[in-house]
Structure 1
Amino acid sequence: MINVIPFDSLGQFQNDWLAARYHFSFANHHHPDRNGFGPLLVWNDDAIQPGTGFPRHGHRDMEIITYVREGAITHEDHLGNQGRTVAGDIQVMSAGKGILHAEFNRESEVTRIFQIWIMPDAAGHSPRWETRAFPKGEAAGRLVTLASGREADKGSGALWINQDAALIGGTLPEGATAAYDIESGRRAYLVVAKGRLRVNGVEVGERDGATIEGVDRIEIVAAADAEVLIADLP
């Protein structure tokens, strides 16, 4: 079953520097039917104004993936990690036993990101942070595993997370097709970062989400130039 969650139905928050949409219940926004999807607890669609960002704060026992859609995000944490992640790339922060970090838009343009929080497989992992650049033009038209905790993805170049889950991304020119197999007993959450898709014949619009359950294969057709992310979940 594929259930589309329209962008216009997402929770909202806005102040002078942040405009956010929430796919699931988050902070002061509560939706009785959207309290995560398996170990996927948070999928926030954030727009951060230039020269602003999230000041230093703490997390623990959470796998936090940041996918940059436009602009760039600059990270720093109490472990001494510093780095800048640009559009099309991701960073992974395993909060583990505890980490203090800040995320800022140091660019001259608005930065747009997806913040994706996944429950780890256990409490108390060592905290860590990584970022990685992924192929752009040459990867167009196919799906690439960006982050994963699945044994099959070790050594693939995907950033490691402490959960039997994966984040897959791809850009599809208009008319292009792609397929993704979902193992028996697993589910997926799909978000269209840009453009429009047909997923097993179901229309999914720009910045919509879709829960996918009881389906062993999804056939994706780009109705316009599109960018898609898929969380493969237990």
Structure 2
Amino acid sequence: MIELRPFASLGGADHGWLDAKHHFSFAGYHDPERMHWGNLRVWNDDTIAPRSGFPTHPHRDMEIVTYVREGAITHQDSLGNKGRTAAGDVQVMSAGSGVAHSEYNLENETTRIFQIWLLPRALGGAPGWGSRPFPEGERSGRFVTLASGYEADDDALPIRADARVVGATLLSGETADYPLGRDRKAYLVPARGAVRIDDVRVNARDGAAISDVEVLRVTALEDSEIIVVDAV
């Protein structure tokens, strides 16, 4: 099953410095049909103006994965962590028992990110943060795991959720397969380009909620950059 969620149908709000689109109910946007997809709770498509960002605020009991599409985001938290994550790279914050953090675009250009929240497999635990580069060449023509809650994915950033975040870059006409499994759910968003899944076209920033699929087969209709959450 594939449910297409066109970008134009997403909720959201334009705050001036932040233009936020929500694939799932979030803040002032509520849609009872779009509360979550398995343990995927939030997928926000955020455009952040230069020299602006999210001031310090708290979180707990959530796994927060940030994929930077354009520009860069600078993180700072109450644990003493500080780091800059640039386009194509990923950061993960495990909020655990509680952490306060800020996320700023300190660049002179617009930053665009996907912010993905996953429900943890257990509450509490020590909070943590990590970031790493994922060169585009590593994802060329195939899916690679960016963040994972499974020990077998030791090259990925660790999260405390029964989920994976995977990415691929495909040239027009290329096809990539991802072994999902019929007992799991996937949510796919092209950061750029357009892809086809079965007979469904998914354009840049559209969402596709996918279930009851043993192998997810994605064909690029244009040069494309794809992010997928594999959830339960």
Q: Normalization by structure 1: what TM-score?
A: 0.97
Corresponding residue to 1:176 among 170, 174, 177? 174
- What is residue 215 of structure 2 aligned with on the other side? 217
How far residue 138 of structure 1 moved from its aligned partner, in angstroms, is 4.5
**Cα distance in structure 1, aligned partners of 2:17 and 2:128:** 27
> What letter corresponds to residue 115 of structure 1 in structure 2?
Q
Q: 2:186, 2:210 within 8 Å by CA — same for their partners in 1? A: yes
Secondary structure of the corresponding residue to residue 151 of structure 1: coil
Is the contact between residue 200 and residue 218 of structure 1 (CA under 8 Å) also seen in structure 2? no
Deviating beyond 3 angstroms after TM superposition, the runs of 4 or more aligned structure 1 residues are: none
> What is the distance in 2 between the residues matched to 1:223 and 1:183?
24
Amino acid across the alignment from 1:175: G
Runs of at least 5 residues in structure 2 that lack an aligned partner in the other structure: none
User: d(CA) in 2 for partners of 1:138 and 1:190?
Assistant: 19
In the other structure, the counterpart of 1:38 is 38
**How many pairs are equivalent?**
232
Counterpart pick for 1:206 among 204, 207, 210: 204
Alpha-carbon contact 2:138-2:144 (below 8 Å) kept: no
SS in 2 for 1:152: coil
Q: CA deviation at 1:151?
A: 3.3
Secondary structure of the corresponding residue to residue 113 of structure 1: strand
Distance 1:26 1:109 in 2: 26
SS at match of 1:20: strand
For 1:48 and 1:34, how far apart are their aligned partners in 2? 24
Secondary structure of residue in 2 paired with 1:104: strand
Q: TM-score, normalised by structure 2?
A: 0.98
Q: 1:131-154 CA deviation, whole Å, 9 max, x = no partner?
A: 00112234311111000002331x
**What does residue 104 of structure 1 align with?**
104
Write out per-residue CA displacement over residues 7-38 of structure 1, whole angstroms, 9 at most, x where no aligned residue. Answer: 00000211120001000000010012000111
